[in-house]
Amino acid sequence: MGVVIGETAIIEDDCTLYHGVTLGGTSWNKGKRHPTLKQGVVIGAGAKILGPITIGRGAKIGSNAVVVKDVPAKATAVGIPARIVEEEGHTKQKSAVQLPAFNAYAVGRDETDPMYKHLDQLMIAIKKQNQTIERLEGQIKSLKPRANEDLKLAKAFSHKKKHPNNT
């Protein structure tokens, strides 16, 4: 099963269409009869986007959804027929405990580049590791004078004359 893109469909930059997606028409009339996908749209596998509708910038369409009406920017549409389940500014806020440690592809709200979120997470992890390394280096440096004293003391005890009965 492949992707079907109608002849009057418009697809802007950074859009992702998974397998089995159809950007189809609903009539044989001349003129615009297929969908327009704005920048950063993600269309799930098997979804059908039908007619001269517009899918707004950064919107997400769930797998196997059938969309026959415009979808606003940054909204998520699912179902048959598709309905909006989430719009920017109307999302339920999750606590830090509920948020996943790994954000799945196409979940980002602020950037259209799918690698942005992953790179951002890596940079945060590297920053934390660097802070830990700096803290540990500081602890090691603070222990160095004491280690030097302990070394001198150990050498002093090891240089004592041996008892004649010990060989």
In the Cβ-directed half-sphere of 147, how many Cα atoms lie within 13 Å?
6
The answer to whether residue 125 scores a pLDDT higher than 60 is: yes
Q: Which of 36, 21, 27 is nearest to 71 (CA)?
A: 36
pLDDT at residue 48 in the model = 96
Query: Would you give the end-to-end CA distance of the chain in angstroms?
Result: 86
> Considering the domain boundaries, does residue 167 fall inside one?
no
What is d(CA 119, CA 122) in angstroms, rounded to the nearest whole number?
A: 5
Residues 26 and 62 in one domain: yes
Residue 151 dihedral angles phi and psi, to the nearest 5°? -65, -45
For residue range 35-85, list pLDDT tens digits in order.
999 999 999 999 999 999 999 999 999 999 999 999 999 999 999 899 998
Q: Is the peptide bond before 81 cis (omega within 30 degrees of 0)?
A: yes
Residues 145 and 83 in one domain: no
> Considering the domain boundaries, does residue 108 fall inside one?
no
Residues 146 and 70 in one domain: no
pLDDT at residue 159 in the model = 66
> Considering the domain boundaries, does residue 44 fall inside one?
yes
Determine the Cα angle at 34 with ends 33 and 40, to 5°. Answer: 150
What is d(CA 123, CA 59) in angstroms, rounded to the nearest whole number?
A: 26
pTM score, whole prediction: 0.55
The answer to whether residue 161 scores a pLDDT higher than 60 is: no
Residues 26 and 74 in one domain: yes
Kindly report the CATH number assigned to the domain that includes residue 65. 2.160.10.10
Q: How many domains does one find in the chain? A: 2
More confident residue, 162 or 82: 82
Question: Span 116-130, mean pLDDT?
Answer: 86
> Considering the domain boundaries, does residue 144 fall inside one?
yes
Q: How far is CA 104 from CA 5, 18, 82, in A?
A: 26, 15, 22
pLDDT at residue 162 in the model = 58
pLDDT at residue 163 in the model = 59
Residues 4 and 55 in one domain: yes
Residues 4 and 63 in one domain: yes
Q: How confident is the model at residue 164 (pLDDT cuts 50, 70, 90)?
A: low
What is d(CA 71, CA 68) in angstroms, rounded to the nearest whole number?
A: 9
Structural domain including 122 reads 115-160
Q: Is the Cα torsion angle 131, 100, 48, 82 positive or negative in sign?
A: negative
pLDDT at residue 68 in the model = 94
Residues 6 and 78 in one domain: yes
> Considering the domain boundaries, does residue 106 fall inside one?
no
Domain's final residue, options 53, 69, 88: 88
Q: In this structure, are residues 62 and 47 in contact, taking their beta carbons and an 8 Å threshold?
A: yes
Question: In this prediction, what percent of the chain has a pLDDT beyond 90?
Answer: 45
The type of residue at 110 is: D
Q: How confident is the model at residue 99 (pLDDT cuts 50, 70, 90)?
A: very low
More confident residue, 167 or 154: 154
> Considering the domain boundaries, does residue 97 fall inside one?
no
> Considering the domain boundaries, does residue 93 fall inside one?
no
Residue 46 three-state SS: coil
